[in-house]
Amino acid sequence: MTGFWTLFYKEFLRFWKVAFQTVAAPVLTALLYLLIFGHVLDEHVRVHGVQYTSFLIPGLVMMQVLQNAFANSSSSLIQAKITGSIVFVLLPPIPYSAFFVAYVLAAVLRGVMVGVGVLLATVWFAEITVVAPLWILVFSLIGGAMFGALGMIAGIWAEKFDQLAAFQNFLIMPLTMLSGVFYSIYTLPAFWQGVSHYNPVFYMIDGFRYGFFGVSDVPPQTSLLVVAACFAAVSLVTLHLLKSGWKLRA
Amino acid sequence: MTPAVSIVDVVKHFGSLKALDGVSLNIEQGEFFGLLGQNGAGKTTLISSLAGLVRPDAGRLSVLGYDVIADFREARRRLGVVPQELVFDPFFNVRETLRIQSGYFGIRKNDDWIDEILENLDLTSKANVNMRRLSGGMKRRVLVAQALVHKPPVIVLDEPTAGVDVELRQGLWQFVRRLNAEGHTIILTTHYLEEAENLCGRIALMKQGRILALDTTANLMAAHPGGTLEDVFVRTMQQ
């Protein structure tokens, strides 16, 4: 267990030592989104009977949880691979399952820390209620874990920083931005509503938001099933890659 | 007695390149063993296979009787590797790096041994300096320290003195000799043949993934009377 905890602690220190870049910067980005969209739309739009700024805040929180969980594990792995320092974690007797859990937990931790930071920074701008805190906790943890695992896949697969950037810009960003962070999918045309239901991030945001307002586009139980199934699938792929040593051990 | 390292018919391809071509070799406990060869001979691939960084296509490798794949945890606990590349994690200082590396091997409180390593490698004054701020030679010393944090009975040094000044080289060899005298098995690859001649009791000469010669340093030298290990090396490589 010491190997696992050390790896987890190392991954925590890795982002905490540059917290200004890894925690404070995403909080500022979310705050800017809120100020801009909130200012433009707050007086014109209500979603599920909730003021737009209030509706937006949980979406921004969850978006940052997911994006930062992904960024943590992916950047750590690609950096270690490119600099060669990955050997320090490949030489010791750390089982691949411990390797997986340590990276994912550290990713969740960073995601949640950023999420809490976003909430603390934005809560002053709108009335926020918390109807079901357990749903908030469950969706942020499972969502963060899934994106942490996805970040591991990207970090293992990518051989250069631009490949990782492509993964992030062409998959992660569209998945998160088009998931209902900024809108309810019921404001979309029928076709795009249908498309949105194939986006697992939609269920994460929707379920997370339910915890705040007690209303959502789909029942939170359904969202939980979808998100848990996606997390299980991504975890199995990641564990398989780690076990096989693909792109880590020649 | 169980050999420190056992390598049996190991084959490894990288695409069409046969990096290891049926290498077999036993290294006994307590030996100071030299693995020599030109660039691309397969030395690092062999060491990486032993460390689990490379997966051979065929053959078996074990460390003190533990198979490096089937019993990888036991094998890796007994092996310390100083990699050839000058790699480091830029987020940490020297002491943090060594504490973290100890933790990876399951050792929680290791400061006494870490202090001893730092002192022997003349790193005590750099203990709290970030890895980025160290010179190449200092980084090399930390790599050696990282390989030793878990007191492995088998230590592999892959070109540990490349780019290192004379003073450190002497200090390093003094420390490694002491470890060897205490019973640690040392496996050394180096391009400095005079170092191998002075330090190694037995030497394997590799070329194109195969072992061309394997004998005690004295016997290899005796086959070329009056010559140095460099003469032996050059003639063997010309075969």
Range of the domain at A238: 2-244
> Is a pLDDT exceeding 80 seen at residue A106?
yes
Mean pLDDT, rounded, for A79-107: 94
Contact A123, A57 (CB under 8 A): yes
With a CB cutoff of 8 Å and minimum separation 6, the contacts of A194 are none
B88 in contact with A, Cβ within 8 Å: yes
> Is a pLDDT exceeding 80 seen at residue A168?
yes
Pairs across A and B, CB distance < 8 A: 80
Domain count, chain A: 1
Query: A94: which chain B residues are within 8 Å (Cβ-Cβ)?
Result: 104
Q: Is B122 exposed, middle or buried (0-12, 13-18, 19+ CB in 10 A)?
A: middle
| pLDDT per residue as tens digits for the range B189-234 | 988 888 888 899 999 999 989 998 899 998 888 877 777 888 778 8
Residue A250 lies inside a defined structural domain of this protein:
no
| pLDDT per residue as tens digits for the range A90-102 | 999 999 999 999 9
With a CB cutoff of 8 Å and minimum separation 6, the contacts of B151 are B113
Domain count, chain B: 1
Q: Is B71 exposed, middle or buried (0-12, 13-18, 19+ CB in 10 A)?
A: middle
Separation CA B114–CA A76 (nearest Å) = 26
HSE at residue B196, side-chain half, CA atoms within 13 A, is 29
DSSP B130: B
Q: How many residues does the structure list for chain B?
A: 239
Residue A125 lies inside a defined structural domain of this protein:
yes
Closest-CA residue in chain B for A4? B104
Mutation pick from B57, B86, B91 vs chain A, by most beta carbons of A within 10 Å, is B91
Range of the domain at B68: 5-237
CA distance A181 to chain B (A): 34
Contact A14, A77 (CB under 8 A): no
Separation CA A234–CA A241 (nearest Å) = 11
B91 in contact with A, Cβ within 8 Å: yes
Query: B85: which chain A residues are within 8 Å (Cβ-Cβ)?
Result: 84
- The predicted complex's ipTM stands at 0.87
Instruction: Please give the backbone phi and psi of residue B104, each rounded to the nearest 5 degrees, phi first.
Output: -60, -30
Separation CA B7–CA A236 (nearest Å) = 34
pLDDT grade, residue A49 (50/70/90)? confident
Query: Which domain CATH number covers B221?
Result: 3.40.50.300
Of A48-57, A135-144, B1-10, B89-98, the least confident: A48-57
B106 in contact with A, Cβ within 8 Å: yes
> Is a pLDDT exceeding 80 seen at residue A20?
yes
pLDDT grade, residue B136 (50/70/90)? confident
> Is a pLDDT exceeding 90 seen at residue A44?
no
A120 in contact with B, Cβ within 8 Å: no
B222 in contact with A, Cβ within 8 Å: no
Separation CA A229–CA A204 (nearest Å) = 12
Q: Which of A2, A17, A84 sits opposite B85 (nearest CB)?
A: A84
State the pLDDT at residue A1: 67
Contact B156, B82 (CB under 8 A): yes
B69 in contact with A, Cβ within 8 Å: no
Asked if B48 and A17 come within 8 Å (Cβ–Cβ), the reply is: no
| Three-state SS at B24 | strand
With a CB cutoff of 8 Å and minimum separation 6, the contacts of B7 are B23, B24, B25, B26, B46, B50, B59, B60, B61
Residue A206 lies inside a defined structural domain of this protein:
yes
Query: A3: which chain B residues are within 8 Å (Cβ-Cβ)?
Result: 103-106
Separation CA A155–CA B196 (nearest Å) = 39
Separation CA B61–CA B214 (nearest Å) = 18
Q: Which of B90, B100, B108 sits opposite A10 (nearest CB)?
A: B100
A88 in contact with B, Cβ within 8 Å: yes
> Is a pLDDT exceeding 80 seen at residue A150?
yes
Query: A13: which chain B residues are within 8 Å (Cβ-Cβ)?
Result: 91-92, 96
Separation CA B10–CA B23 (nearest Å) = 5
Instruction: Please give the backbone phi and psi of residue A188, each rounded to the nearest 5 degrees, phi first.
Output: -90, 160
Separation CA A171–CA A186 (nearest Å) = 23
Task: Please name the helix (run of DSSP H) or strand (run of DSSP E) that holds residue B8, with its range, or none.
Answer: strand B5-14
Separation CA A232–CA B194 (nearest Å) = 56
Residue A249 lies inside a defined structural domain of this protein:
no
Gyration radius of chain B's alpha carbons: 18
Contact B224, B192 (CB under 8 A): no
State the pLDDT at residue A66: 95
